[in-house]
Structures are given as structure tokens and as C-alpha cells.
Structure 1
Amino acid sequence: MSALPHDASASPSYAALFADRYDDWFAASTTDSTVGFLAALAKEGPPGPLLELGSGTGRVVLPLAALGLTVEGLDASPEMTAQLHAKPGGSTVRVTLGDFSAPPGPADAGRYALVYAAGGTFAELDTQEAQRRCLASAARRLRPGGRFVLDAHLPEALATLGSGTQPVDTPGGGFVFRTRTLHPARQQYTSDYAVLDDGRMRHVRVSFRYFSPGELDLLAELAGLRLVRRTGGWSGRPLTDSSTHHVSVYQLPA
């Protein structure tokens, strides 16, 4: 996706420096389709609230709440969360500050009908163990029959696109360039963002761990989740050989 992912496990200085300008510099073109996909998915499962892992400044949470859904957030950044709460409707959204790969507290176990991670947030957990713990935590948060959904790059597409620098569309001004560097030996990649804003150059580096759909399915199975759907994006289009991303939907069996 052409947006800097929400702060989930990156350093706090990233959120402190960029939270107030995040929405100006980084916007995802898939927001409408993401919201539509999740709203439709919420109707398929049991009743209950939704939870976004890495809710950030509210790009997805707030449109879902505006549709009348009860949506909550879990994020590591108080700065990003403050931006969410300052927006119209944001003060009514419950956001818990914390690590979303950690086990839930007793009050949140079995609470949610749908848990999701959008914008590549899940891949910001840059070790297999952290990703395994996140899936286990998500499963413990779900009601029986509830769903967990995430989006991610397909590793073959990452390999084809390779490393390089490209501009990022910025809705609110400034110039943003992203340099992506693959690290196959670690099954990781880094994205370096250079932002020219008001005559100043700012830089942030975010690390990701990529994974095959098969590896993700195995980690999900270990958490007690089973795959029910995989598409080629939030639009719901089929997953094909030309897809660059996938959206995977898992269910906690009733």
C-alpha cells in the first residue's frame, strides 16, 4: 500500500515526530474499499464490537464507527491515538494503549466479533514469534464464530518489484519518497521514508517481516483459527497470479 503503516511496534519517536502530519503525508487509496469489506464482513459473523490492531489516527476506525458499528482500537502510540480522539466522532471510540501481540486482559477475552489489522500493520511485527503471538492474541479476543482479517504483500510480488525508490502520493502537501530494501536472509524488508516538508527533510525507517500465505495459515492454525476466505485485495477481487497483495480472513470455530 502507498501509505506509511500505522505505528504498531515501531519506535515511539516515530509516532511523536509524525503523528500530527501523518494524515497530510500518508493516505491509503484503499480506505473506502477496506471499510466496505470490513462492514460487510461484520454482518456475516456473530454480534459484537470490532477491534482494529494498530488503530493509528483513525483512518479505518472512524468511517466504520460512522456507519453505526461499535469499533474499538488497540495501539502502542499515545500520540497517534490523540490525533484519532481529536477528530469528529473520535472521542467516542475506545482505544487501549498497548502491544497488540500481547495476550488480552480478562475483560477483552472473547469480547470481539471481528478483529482486523489493515495497512500492512501485521507485518510490522518483524519476527515470526511476534506474529505467532499476535494471532494467538487475536484468537483469544474473538467470540466463537468471530473473524480475524489482515492484509499483506505477497512475497513473490515483493521479489518481482524488488528494491528501489519511488514517490508516495501525499494528499496534504510535501514530498515523500520511499526506498524499499529486501533482506531475504532475514525474511524482512525495510522501508525508508524521506519527507521534504517546509524546507526540512525528515526520515523514518520501518521494518517488516514478509511471509507466504501458507506460513500465515500454519501460524493461524496453531492459534486455533481456520482460513475461510482469501482475496486479492480489499476490493474483494479474486487472488490471481498477478496479485500483489492478499487479504486473508480467518474464523474462530464456534
Structure 2
Amino acid sequence: MPHDLTSLDHLDQEQLWDARAAASYDTPGTGMEAPDVLGPTVDRLADLAGDGRVLELAVGTGRVGIPLARRGISVTGIEISRHMIARLREKVSDADLPVVQGDMASTRVPGEFSLVYLVYNTIGNLLTQDAQVECFRNAAAHLRPGGRFVIELWVPQLQQGAPGVPALVGAVEDGYLLVDTLDTATQRLMSHHVRFGEGRSATVGRSPHRYVWPSELDLMARLAGMALESRDADWRGAPFTSESGSHVSVYRTASDV
């Protein structure tokens, strides 16, 4: 396994999501916060929440939680990085969106919720299968009977890599290059984010992840007492097929009725 797949393992998530990461995370009006990306996300989550309380795991700087709360929905967040929480607090108060600092796989928030959600590939930040299973169990423990857990995640595109080639190009954009080095035996990868500046200057950021297959997520849900209710290719409800590069999966707990 290439050395750099494990070189960041000693860092915890709060160290990875430090002040510099928090300061550069928001992209108002573009990228993850472009209206055509954020709008359908918030619309779908609001519909799934109904009139119940909502919990966002890894709420970050409030990209999704804040617009959802502004629709009158009661949103609470769990976030491990104090730097991300501080950035969120620049935008909304604790009364508008309370946040508990802690690990999304183990931190508990009082009360029951109709919806728990985890967006934008974030379950991959948990680097072992055991931790990801515990995340499902933690989500289920927060849900009322009949409540839903929603995960947005990319589908591993390993067929794009030739045998013996240990890296995949994830994105090529103006001023940005993403290269993932991976180990298929452990389902671990290291994302290398290269951002180009003036002239020959460039900065490189790296983050470790564990990729998860949709069927593996379904088994994790069963272990936590949930079942798959629906799977779409995106937040607008496009059909999920073998060609889909990502999915939005909705799991549901058993109802008392």
C-alpha cells in the first residue's frame, strides 16, 4: 500500500478540519453552495422531515443546516471540529441552530428526531467499517419510530482504474485537480487536492477516506435496525442505475403502527 494512504491516520478529524479548512470551506453561490446543488438538497430534506425535529451529523459550517432551519424546521447539529462550529456561529446563533461538539459515530443528543441526515460523502471520513457501522447505530438511536436516516455518497468508480494503477483522477477543473490514491484491500483512499495559484505556484491538501459500496451501506442499516426505503441518483430523484456516480439513500426505522 502506498505510504501516503496511512500518513494522515494519526490525525483525528478535528485536526484535519482545522481553522484553515473551516475558513475555506464555504463557497457562497458556487460549488456545493450553488443554487442548483443546494436547493434540491434542502427541498428533499424538508419534505422528508415533515413537522418533526431534524439532526444533521457533521453539520460543518451550516451549508445545509442553516437554510433548512430558515424554513422553520427545528435543526440540531453534531460536529467534531470546533473550528467549523466557530464558522457556523458567525452566521447563526445557538438558539437558531444548536450544535453539540462530538463524533458523529457516538455523540448523543437528547430527544427523538424524525430525520437524521449525513450529506456529501461525509460517512467516508470514518476510516473503518466498525466506525461506519456505529454511525448507523447512532443515527438509529436518535430516530423516533418510523424515522428516516438519509445518506448522500459517491459510488466508487474502480472500473476506471487500469490493473496496477494505484490512483484515479477525480476532478479536473480550472485551477483545481483531484487525484485519489487507493487500496482496494482496505477500501481506503487518500484524496490529493491540488489548487493552482499564480504562475507555477500550487498548494496540496490531503484527506483520508474509506469508500463504501451501496450494498454495504444497506447491511449496515440492517445491523442498526433500519431498512432501505429508497435510493436515487441525486436529490431530484433521478433513477439510480449502474452508471450512477452517486446516490441519495433513505433508510427507515420500523414503525409502531
Q: Would the TM-score normalized by the shorter structure come out above 0.5?
A: yes
Shift of 1:130: 0.4
Map residues 39-54 of structure 1 onto 2, 5 A cutoff: 39-43=46-50, 47-54=51-58
Matched, 1:166 2:171: yes
Letter in 2 for 1:195: R
Matched, 1:23 2:30: no
Output one character per residue of 1:139-173: Cα deviation in whole Å (capped at 9) or x when no partner.
00111111000011222x3433760263357xxxx
For residue 190 of structure 1, give the secondary structure of its aligned residue in structure 2: strand
Matched, 1:93 2:97: yes
Q: Aligned partners of 1:168, 1:32: CA distance in 2, in Å? A: 23
For residue 46 of structure 2, give the secondary structure of its aligned residue in structure 1: helix
Which of 74, 80, 83 does residue 87 from structure 2 map onto?
A: 83
Unaligned runs of 5+ in 2: 1-11, 162-166
Map residues 1-254 of structure 1 onto 2, 5 A cutoff: 10-24=13-27, 27-28=31-32, 29=34, 30-43=37-50, 47-87=51-91, 92-104=96-108, 107-108=110-111, 111-155=112-156, 157-160=157-160, 163-164=168-169, 166-168=171-173, 175-196=175-196, 201-254=202-255
Q: Aligned partners of 2:244, 2:94: CA distance in 1, in Å? A: 34
Q: Aligned partners of 1:81, 1:16: CA distance in 2, in Å? A: 10
Kept in 1, the 8 Å contact 2:16–2:207? The answer is no
Output one character per residue of 1:16-48: Cα deviation in whole Å (capped at 9) or x when no partner.
2221121149831522111111111112xxx42
Output one character per residue of 1:205-238: Cα deviation in whole Å (capped at 9) or x when no partner.
1122122221111111011011111111112111
TM-score, with structure 1 as normaliser: 0.83
* 2:9 aligned partner: none
Kept in 2, the 8 Å contact 1:62–1:90? The answer is no
User: Structure 1 residues 237, 88: closer, same or farther in 2, change over 3 A?
Assistant: same
Shift of 1:117: 0.3
Q: Aligned partners of 2:226, 2:42: CA distance in 1, in Å? A: 23
Letter in 1 for 2:120: G
Letter in 2 for 1:31: L
TM-score, with structure 2 as normaliser: 0.82
Return 132-141 or 184-193, whichever deviates more.
184-193
Shift of 1:99: 0.3
Report percent identity of matched pairs.
Answer: 37
For residue 243 of structure 1, give the secondary structure of its aligned residue in structure 2: coil
Q: Aligned partners of 1:186, 1:251: CA distance in 2, in Å? A: 28
Letter in 1 for 2:195: V
Kept in 1, the 8 Å contact 2:127–2:210? The answer is yes
Output one character per residue of 1:72-115: Cα deviation in whole Å (capped at 9) or x when no partner.
1110011111111111567621011000101525x24xx11100
For residue 185 of structure 1, give the secondary structure of its aligned residue in structure 2: coil
Q: Aligned partners of 1:134, 1:179: CA distance in 2, in Å? A: 27
Larger Rg: 2
For residue 237 of structure 2, give the secondary structure of its aligned residue in structure 1: coil
Q: Aligned partners of 1:192, 1:115: CA distance in 2, in Å? A: 30
Kept in 1, the 8 Å contact 2:56–2:75? The answer is yes
Letter in 1 for 2:38: T
> Which contiguous aligned blocks of 4+ residues in structure 1 show a shift greater than 6 angstroms?
none
Shift of 1:135: 0.4
For residue 72 of structure 1, give the secondary structure of its aligned residue in structure 2: strand
Q: Aligned partners of 1:160, 1:168: CA distance in 2, in Å? A: 18
Letter in 2 for 1:181: T
Q: Aligned partners of 2:214, 2:196: CA distance in 1, in Å? A: 36
Shift of 1:13: 4.5
